[in-house]
Structure 1
Amino acid sequence: MSDKIEKEYAERFEQALNPIAADLENFLNEILAGVPRIDRVSARAKTVERFVAKADKKLDSGEPKYTDPINQIQDQIGARVVAFYKADLDTVSDRLNEYLRPIETQEVFPESEWEFGYFGRHYIFLLPKDVIPIGSRKEIIPRCFEMQVKTLFQHAWSEANHDLGYKMIEHTLEADDKRRLAYTSAQAWGADHAFNELFLKTAD
């Protein structure tokens, strides 16, 4: 990626993304007030280092994945809502859709029912005007942000796996290592369903 794009994003990060992420987190806490069993609500700007790494990604053909990363990468601001149980995810999602305008909605899960891995709900929402500082330069304000909605177990597994992912770049995983990862995901999936079923029984 060119130094020009890195410099452009660094300016956007300092002048727009960081302050907007802080205001967005407050905004989300306000609209989700009263929704039960929410563990945490957070929003943050993608760091310059991670933006550069994502902007530099290549397709299998070797061609750049992004031809205009500043305008194509949609998760320059990422938000997350972590709820206790799977039964709470619809309630959270319904409330978000009342106040925000979705561009994309995706239920993320492994391709095969025989596989375990990442689970979660991802949304791309238009950035609400309420969180854009008055007088901001229009050209450095992102059009949208990414929202992830997860349970506690989904969040815990994905955070640990994400952290390990950066370490895996320098180390080749053996077959048993990959099985261990799949095993931990299966355990998280099982715990998620067990706690949700117990919650539904006690809620009756």
Structure 2
Amino acid sequence: MEGRAKDVASFAEKIQRKGGKYVDPMAEVTDLAGIRIITYYLEDVERIASIIRREFSVLEEHSGDKQAELADNEFGYASFHLVLELGENRRRLLEWSQFGGIKAEVQVRTALQHAWAAVNHKLDYKSSQDIPREMRRRLFRLSALFELADEEFSQIRRAGLKISAAYEREMGRGEYDLEVNVDSVAAWARIDSKAHRVREIAQELGWDVVDDPNSVRAVDRTDLVRLAISQGMSTVGDLSNFLDEVDSLIEPVLRKLGEADGDDEAASSVEDLVTQIILVCKKLPVEVWNNYYQPEVQFEEARSLVP
């Protein structure tokens, strides 16, 4: 998110430039405050716009999807603009009442739309008519590629969710001969009984464990995949079998590792905990531990618990 308040000089310049258009500038200028929200995926733009519409009074006549307003052959790659003011519920609150009637503008765009806008600002072409003929086709083609990339990212995201759901269905049927990758590990951590046992033990010992699978850090899963494969665990079944073999060590190992000072405030995930258990129970050298975590004496002590 990015935000700014229009400064006095800019406000005055806009009033003068419009040449008497405004009768009551404080009420009529729509961008006294501006917020930009940048998303990763196209579908999140509409989701965020829906949230804004629920929380504020949106002036639809000044709002809309600027991309949808472009003709098929028109140059540009725009974003979603919403002009809003406080809704009745907020205007009645004392702390908000002074802002009643004041308008603000919110832009919601994807990261690629934001990149296009930044480059386009430097080029300083406002419309296709401004572009030299020899450059026009190249810029049309480039803006189309940006749009296509946005759509492909969304398609890849949806495909990943489908693959993850398929992994869960297969594991639910007892099929664990599935390759270790980020999606299969995420599904395994959600439904496997051994993974659940690791979570329960850690929570009983006072570990702060992530409850929402969508909040797990990507690095936790990539680290587990990388380590598991390096140790010959090529399927999620291998992960479960390993935890079964070291079951009696899980509690004392996590207890010892939990005695760290804990200057990292981020909650641990099941994937993160399993990575630490593998490092300890495989008695890997400190140098390998240091590839994943900060050096700490608890690793040496936890490793000494392993026969």
Same fold (TM over 0.5): yes
**Identity level (%):** 26
* 1:176 corresponds to 2:134: yes
Quick one: distance in 2 between partners of 1:120 and 1:78? 14
Quick one: distance in 1 between partners of 2:101 and 2:7? 15
> Runs of 5+ in structure 2 lacking a partner?
163-307
2:33 aligned partner, one-letter code: I
1:106 aligned to which of 64, 69, 85: 64
The TM-score with structure 2 as length reference comes to 0.42
* Contact map agreement 1:86 1:192 (CA 8 A) in 2: yes
* 1:95 corresponds to 2:51: yes
Larger radius of gyration: 2
Q: CA deviation at 1:145?
A: 0.4
Query: How many residue pairs end up in the alignment?
Result: 152
Quick one: distance in 2 between partners of 1:135 and 1:90? 26
Aligned to 2:148: 190
Quick one: distance in 1 between partners of 2:52 and 2:79? 15
Aligned to 1:76: 32
- RMSD over aligned Cα atoms: 3.3
Quick one: distance in 2 between partners of 1:56 and 1:179? 37
Q: CA deviation at 1:56?
A: 4.6
The TM-score with structure 1 as length reference comes to 0.60
* Contact map agreement 1:84 1:151 (CA 8 A) in 2: yes
Could you tell which deviates more after superposition, 79-88 or 97-106? 97-106
How far does the alpha carbon of each residue in 1:142-172 deviate from its partner, in whole angstroms, 9 at most, with x for none?
611001111111111112212432x98xxx7
What is the SS of the residue equivalent to 2:50? helix
190 and 50 in structure 1: CA distance in 2 versus 1, 3 angstrom threshold: farther
Aligned to 2:41: 85
What is the SS of the residue equivalent to 2:115? helix
Aligned to 2:82: 123
Higher helix share: 2
